[in-house]
Copies of this chain bind each other. A is one copy, B any other.
Amino acid sequence: MNIRELARRSGVSTATVSRALNDRAEVSEATRAKIRALASELGYAPNEPARTLVRRRSDTIGLIWDSGQEARGLHNPYLLGLLSAVRTALSEADYHLMLLNTPGAEEQDTALLQAVRRHNLEGVIVLTTPPDDRCLRLLAGSTVPCAGIDTAFTGPRTVRVSSDNAAGAELAVQHLYEQGHRRIATVTGPLHLPPAAERLAGYLRACTRLGLAVPPEYVTEGDFFLASGQSAGKRLLALADRPTAIFAAGDQMAIGAMHAAADAGLSVPGDLAVVGFDDIDAASLVRPALSTVAQDQRGLGEAAVASLRGLIDAAPVEPAQPRIVPTRLVVRGSSRPRG
């Protein structure tokens, strides 16, 4: 069942069928309707590879994420939500989606770039901070439009979209302040990662704005995982000037801090309030449930797709501005009014 067969049965030429189905103007309404009807009756679907070949565009974009993390057993609970958001946003824009595999160490440096060319991909969306990868750097350095969600690469035709990490952190601190807390400490992520640095900046900004003192020992660096939050919490709770609240730059670390409080015989939120960042699944499963700054995954996905489309059909006029997506505070039991 190809366009020729459909043309034969409609009594017109393949050119007319193509024009009819592609909503071109040079075809009468009558024949267009007839062809449409016959096409859907016969279940005709145009062959995409052939279209791609002649049009020299595939309406397809590639998606890639850092699976190195999972390989090391570290799930990023956000990936799935981002994936779905990107997928629906792309399909609404009539793009197809191809999953690229993160090149391992044994791959060629050009593996990613080659994959893009092989499939005529019109752009690539990169999820989460990837390892310091040469493949990815090569891709970003090329003229292939790239949108990165929470990634830090730069290139001639790249755009970065990320949550408003600083504002989110401010939200958290503001909330704790409103609950009466004045001694608020923080556990950061690895500070060489942009999101971690931005969340710290937001924390500091809020503290100065609110007139809160931030002794240097109130800022401890973690690695986004449970254990680091627990040990950081333990250190913070042993301080002479013990904080009454902790803002952790990641939910796992926040849960770790809650464990540290329990270890010290302190109650949450009575003796220590905790606010995290990300709203992972576990946040609503632990007890007390974790207050946290939720990222807008759908918004991130839509922003990435919108930016990418801009990059695709616009000339590379200027380095695209990063797109910032607002966050939202979710208040749960771990920061309710002090008892």
Q: Is the Cβ of A99 less than 8 Å from the Cβ of B99?
A: yes
CB contact between A87 and one of B53, B67, B87, B120 (< 8 Å): that residue: B67
Size of the chain A interface, CB-CB below 8 angstroms = 49
Given known A-B contacts A97-B99, A118-B48, A75 and B81 have beta carbons under 8 A apart: yes
**Mask for A60-96, Cβ within 8 A of B = 1, else 0?**
0001000100100001110111011001100100001
Q: In the complex the two chains form, what is the Cα distance from A110 to B284 in whole Å? A: 38
Asked whether A43 is an interface residue with its Cβ less than 8 Å from the other chain, the reply is yes
Q: Is the Cβ of B97 less than 8 Å from the Cβ of A98?
A: yes
Interface residues of A (CB under 8 A from B): 43, 45-50, 52-53, 58, 63, 67, 70, 75-77, 79-81, 83-84, 87-88, 91, 96-99, 101, 110, 113-115, 117-120, 226, 252, 255, 259, 262, 280-282, 284-287
Given known A-B contacts A45-B118, A49-B53, A80 and B75 have beta carbons under 8 A apart: yes
Q: Is the Cβ of A47 less than 8 Å from the Cβ of B287?
A: no
CB contact between A49 and one of B52, B110, B252, B287 (< 8 Å): that residue: B52
CB-defined contacts of A285 to chain B, threshold 8 Å: 226, 252, 255, 282, 285-286
Closest chain B CB from A101 CB (angstroms): 4
Q: Is the Cβ of A49 less than 8 Å from the Cβ of B280?
A: no
CB contact between A101 and one of B48, B52, B67, B91 (< 8 Å): that residue: B91
Q: In the complex the two chains form, what is the Cα distance from A50 to B281 in whole Å? A: 44
Given known A-B contacts A47-B120, A119-B49, A285-B282, A98 and B98 have beta carbons under 8 A apart: yes
Q: In the complex the two chains form, what is the Cα distance from A84 to B99 in whole Å? A: 10
Q: Is the Cβ of B77 less than 8 Å from the Cβ of A70?
A: no
Q: In the complex the two chains form, what is the Cα distance from A80 to B297 in whole Å? A: 15
When C-beta atoms are compared, the residue in chain B nearest to A70 turns out to be B84
When C-beta atoms are compared, the residue in chain B nearest to A85 turns out to be B70
When C-beta atoms are compared, the residue in chain B nearest to A52 turns out to be B49
Q: Is the Cβ of A45 less than 8 Å from the Cβ of B75?
A: no
